[in-house]
Amino acid sequence: MTATRVLVLNSGSSSVKYQLLEMTDESRLAVGLVERIGERQSRLTHTPVATGGERRERVEEFADHEAALRAASEELEAEGLGLDAPELAAIGHRVVHGGRSFTRPTLIDDGVLAEIRRLVPVAPLHNPANLTGITTAQALNPGLPQVAVFDTTFHTTMPEHAARYAIDVETADAHRVRRYGFHGTSHAYVSRRTAQLLGADPADVNVIVLHLGNGASVSAVQGGRCVDTSMGLTPLEGLVMGTRSGDVDPAVVFHLVRVAGMSVDEVDELLNKRSGLVGLCGDNDMREIRRRIEEGDEQARLAFDIYIHRIRKYIGAYCAVLGRVDAVAFTAGVGENSPPVREAALAGLDGLGLAVDPAANEAEGPAAEGPRLISPRGARVAVAVVPTDEELEIAHQTYALVTGAGRHRTD
């Protein structure tokens, strides 16, 4: 029997998301989520897509990731899709930080685990949870190939002049301080899918990808290779996000420590959790912000304007970085679903060849599903909405690695 299925695991600090995919037709066989791991009332939701069964929910205590993954594997098992099924080719793990070490998806062994562990100081929130997911999955089926797919990999092609901060080289190198970038799986998938939408080879297309979700980043992709991205050493740099500030003068940190008497941890918490849209207006959901703007709320309006201004600065910067831009692609929760954000981000940029067709941008229903163009006919630069699919991309990269196929198909 050929093994044609891949289980994708995305382990966060208190949650595990999983999807089982059949690679011959890219269909989802099962989708699930375990939340609030470690709390008294953890919750598992499991949707058995293949059998068309009802969504199931279990509320009980899953003390740790091992208990959570065991429960998920029981749910899969109940439909004959367990971790020991011969059809399962591999498990693909999302790993947030691969540093400079991992320039491609990698089959996990002890050396790889040690390297992911070595990177914990630069990804203290994410890599430990990713590691736990991997070791737990290994314990459940020790013989199964496990592959790490890194958020940073797509950005490892950034030239040195984009990846380095202008700080003392010895200090930077000693502590691995440089720009790594994140959301790479999404930027890779969306840039390739955009080229496909244009009927072009990714190698011939330059794309600016705007991943606008609760976390947000933008990348400049030249002929399929990332040449710059807005996130840096950590996912704090760049765009205004749901709760993160994005770019600030680094001296803001010294100022708050020296003048406001805040500790470094307090500033860290401020910039990561109490800034961005939430810090500016108290809400981070774009739907709520738009609703408040329509009611004349000035604070929400200003938050929106700051958010958009930052996006426009990056679009301008990446037009200059790329020289020639063939497409701008919007993706993730806000990018895929918010016509006012797309409209405001590109308003008045006709001089750069950028424009949005109002009817296409605001379309609803079936016309607003799947990858689509929203630029006017004959526009110099294509503007696209391309739903991201990080799980499918992780599954592709995992499957390609374990079957020895090319790095990935052109989709």
Kindly state the smallest distance separating residue 96's Cβ from ligand AMP, in Å: 14
Sheet with 88-95, side-by-side order of all strands: 56-60, 42-47, 27-35, 16-22, 5-11, 88-95, 146-150, 106-107
Stretch that binds ligand AMP, among 55-63, 141-149, 225-233, 330-338 (CB under 6 A): 330-338
Please name which of 262, 8, 36 lies closest in space to residue 134, comparing C-alpha atoms: 8
- Interface pick for ligand AMP out of 66, 247, 285, 362 (rule CB under 6 A): 285
**Tokens 């491609």 identify what position?**
104
Stretch that binds ligand AMP, among 85-93, 232-240, 246-254, 331-339 (CB under 6 A): 331-339
Number of residues that bind ligand AMP (CB under 6 A): 12
Kindly state the smallest distance separating residue 281's Cβ from ligand AMP, in Å: 12
Q: Which residue is nearest to ligand AMP (CB)?
A: 333
Is residue 332 a contact point for ligand AMP (CB under 6 A)? yes
Is residue 242 a contact point for ligand AMP (CB under 6 A)? yes
Cβ–Cβ < 8 Å for 178, 165: yes
For ligand AMP, the closer CB: 334 or 349: 334
Kindly state the smallest distance separating residue 27's Cβ from ligand AMP, in Å: 22
Question: Can you tell me the distance from the alpha carbon of 241 to that of 132, in angstroms, rounded to the nearest whole number?
Answer: 27
Is residue 99 a contact point for ligand AMP (CB under 6 A)? no
For ligand AMP, the closer CB: 48 or 333: 333
For ligand AMP, the closer CB: 197 or 278: 278
DSSP lists the bridge partners of residue 331 as 211
Please name which of 231, 207, 212, 215 lies closest in space to residue 152, comparing C-alpha atoms: 231
Kindly state the smallest distance separating residue 374's Cβ from ligand AMP, in Å: 15
For ligand AMP, the closer CB: 75 or 283: 283
Is residue 284 a contact point for ligand AMP (CB under 6 A)? yes
- Interface pick for ligand AMP out of 15, 138, 214, 299 (rule CB under 6 A): 214
Q: Which of 84, 151, 204, 228 is catalytic?
A: 151
Residue 278, token pair as written in the block? 């939430």
Stretch that binds ligand AMP, among 18-26, 188-196, 281-289, 291-299 (CB under 6 A): 281-289
**Tokens 């984009």 identify what position?**
162
Stretch that binds ligand AMP, among 41-49, 79-87, 170-178, 334-342 (CB under 6 A): 334-342
Kindly state the smallest distance separating residue 344's Cβ from ligand AMP, in Å: 13
Is residue 247 a contact point for ligand AMP (CB under 6 A)? no
Count how many residues are written for the chain. 411
Stretch that binds ligand AMP, among 84-92, 219-227, 328-336, 377-385 (CB under 6 A): 328-336
**One-letter amino acid of 225:** R
Is residue 286 a contact point for ligand AMP (CB under 6 A)? yes
- Interface pick for ligand AMP out of 7, 333, 360, 373 (rule CB under 6 A): 333
Question: Can you tell me the distance from the alpha carbon of 225 to that of 206, in angstroms, rounded to the nearest whole number?
Answer: 9
**One-letter amino acid of 410:** T
Is residue 213 a contact point for ligand AMP (CB under 6 A)? yes
Kindly state the smallest distance separating residue 232's Cβ from ligand AMP, in Å: 19
Residue 155, token pair as written in the block? 């950005």
For ligand AMP, the closer CB: 366 or 378: 366
Kindly state the smallest distance separating residue 284's Cβ from ligand AMP, in Å: 6
- Confirm whether 64 is a catalytic residue: no
Cβ–Cβ < 8 Å for 279, 257: no
- Interface pick for ligand AMP out of 337, 372, 387, 400 (rule CB under 6 A): 337
Eight-class DSSP state of 251: H
Kindly state the smallest distance separating residue 385's Cβ from ligand AMP, in Å: 12
Is residue 334 a contact point for ligand AMP (CB under 6 A)? yes
Cβ partners under 8 Å of residue 179, min gap 6: 155, 158, 162, 163, 164, 165, 229, 231, 232, 233, 237
For ligand AMP, the closer CB: 84 or 294: 294
Residues at the interface with ligand AMP (CB under 6 A): 213-214, 242, 284-287, 332-334, 337-338
Residues recognised as catalytic: 151
